Structure 1
Amino acid sequence: MIPLEPDKFHHGYNRANGNENIFKNKENYRFFLQQYKKYIVPLADTFCYCLMPNHFHFLFRIKSEPELKKLVDFPNSPAVEKFLSKGFSNFFSSYTQAFNKQQNRRGSLFMKNFKRKCIEKEDYLYNLIPYIHNNPVAAKLCEKAEDWEFSSYNSIISEKPTLLQREEILEYFDGRSNFISFHKKPNNDNFSC
């Protein structure tokens, strides 16, 4: 498993066990984001996300070690990774427990082991953002990225306050209009993670 490391970009994703959905209604999507804010925002800067009925994607950068040490003083680097992994574990567990109670179900909701890739190259990052936002389009759940309610696309192009790293994202794309037009390019369909 790829370790979560300070100052590194990660593409995090996972899906439901079997053919289940991890989101059954709008409140589930909202609660998942609320729990993400509670458990992950203190640990990582979020660049984009997309929540789909049976899976999710997040692009985040783990905060620097000095920022993390403000939360907990770590004796060494393995302790940092353990702390970060525990934060993600608590996030998924809190959502699963609430979802199971609401849906009157038992057991794990997500596939074992939260999947993640460390992103080293800027061009991969540049293509990953539209890939994440266009997931619902590829799944034929909507026609355009801006039509999907549970992604960060509309937050990035809006002027409303957000916890996303909007300015940095738009800087990668040389501005808002390039961000929008890049999401509409057909060659984004060929990108895979």
Structure 2
Amino acid sequence: MSKPTIPLTPGKYFHIYNRGINSCPIFYDDYDHERFLYLYQKYVGQIAETFAWVLMRTHFHLLIRIKEDMVYRYSMEEIRKMEGQRRNANRSLSLSRGADAVGFPQSEDALSFAKWEMGNIRDAGKKDSGTSVGCDAREQFPDVSGCGQGKTPNPSLHLGHLFNAYARYFNPKYHRHGSLFENQFKRKPIEDERYLLNVMVYIHKNPEHHGYCSDFRQYPWSSYHASLQEGNRFFGKEEVLEWFGSFDNFILAHSMKMEIEDMES
């Protein structure tokens, strides 16, 4: 019997990893890596903080924390359209689905097709540069389920959107078809600080462990380099250095031998 799927709970840290189906390659050139990172930020960066990542030819690893209190926020124009549809149940659905629309169940009517962005429910009502300045929380985060709150994101679906979007890029480029990734990505919850630090070091040293390079510091597609530079993408550098206590401790931890059991392959 298969184990029940572990939910990606807001506020929790997770080690996420996946590989190409039948261990097939998922990255061939630099642009493949860049495209994956772009799509990652687009689909996953909105719902998770990223603290470590590595991309290798056949698989990848992530260390993330699921953001809390995130909901889908709709533009006022979209809200007015949705309200109009609800007033007339027989009216044909007139909203067009955006390229980045989240696949909500059809029972949610117009919300299934609405344009959206992520917002934090705690920020509702604050002045922003966005779509609904001066609105109250109910206007910014319209009722989807009848309970007066906006719809919260499903992190697993966002990761699924990432994999699907990348496959749509990858398959035509390399004249292949069908599934690109294993059907169910792996996830391990991180419950204590020691394990958190070990997972980070493991992720950064993974290319060396698998023989992609003789020294993981030489591997280009890893967040290890983000710890040494300013302005790197979607990487919680300040938090990471705080966990290790100092930059020197971060370097030292990566130079020590570590146990890799129960970290994945």
The equivalent residue for 1:94 is 165
Query: Does the CA contact (< 8 Å) of 2:54 and 2:221 recur in 1?
Result: yes
Tell me whether 116-125 or 68-77 shows the greater mean CA deviation: 68-77
Measured after TM superposition, the shift of residue 93 of structure 1 is: 0.2
The equivalent residue for 1:118 is 189
The equivalent residue for 2:244 is 173
Query: Structure 2 vs 1, CA of residues 22 and 171 (structure 1 numbering), >3 Å: closer, same or farther?
Result: same
Output the CA distance in 1 between the equivalents of 2:254 and 2:261: 12
- 1:134 aligned to 2:134? no
SS at match of 1:18: helix
- 1:11 aligned to 2:15? yes
Output the CA distance in 2 between the equivalents of 1:88 and 1:169: 23
Q: How many residues align?
A: 189
Which among 158, 163, 167 is matched to residue 234 of structure 2? 163
Query: Does the CA contact (< 8 Å) of 2:202 and 2:260 recur in 1?
Result: no
Query: Does the CA contact (< 8 Å) of 1:131 and 1:192 recur in 2?
Result: no
Query: Does the CA contact (< 8 Å) of 1:131 and 1:191 recur in 2?
Result: no
Output the CA distance in 2 between the equivalents of 1:33 and 1:162: 9
Query: Structure 2 vs 1, CA of residues 45 and 17 (structure 1 numbering), >3 Å: closer, same or farther?
Result: same
Output the CA distance in 2 between the equivalents of 1:189 and 1:124: 11
- 1:51 aligned to 2:55? yes
Output the CA distance in 1 between the equivalents of 2:12 and 2:259: 26
Query: Does the CA contact (< 8 Å) of 1:137 and 1:143 recur in 2?
Result: yes
- 1:21 aligned to 2:25? yes
Higher relative contact order (CA 8 A, sep 6+): 1
Measured after TM superposition, the shift of residue 4 of structure 1 is: 1.1
Query: Does the CA contact (< 8 Å) of 2:15 and 2:64 recur in 1?
Result: yes
The equivalent residue for 2:152 is 80
Query: Structure 2 vs 1, CA of residues 144 and 192 (structure 1 numbering), >3 Å: closer, same or farther?
Result: farther
Query: Does the CA contact (< 8 Å) of 2:241 and 2:250 recur in 1?
Result: yes
Structure 2 unmatched ranges of 5 or more: 74-117, 120-140
Structure 1 unmatched ranges of 5 or more: none
Which among 9, 14, 34 is matched to residue 30 of structure 1? 34
Measured after TM superposition, the shift of residue 139 of structure 1 is: 1.2
**Structure having the larger proportion of residues in helix:** 1
Output the CA distance in 1 between the equivalents of 2:48 and 2:180: 23
C-alpha RMSD of the superposition: 2.0
Query: Structure 2 vs 1, CA of residues 68 and 44 (structure 1 numbering), >3 Å: closer, same or farther?
Result: farther
Rg bigger for which structure?
2
With normalisation by structure 2, the TM-score equals 0.67
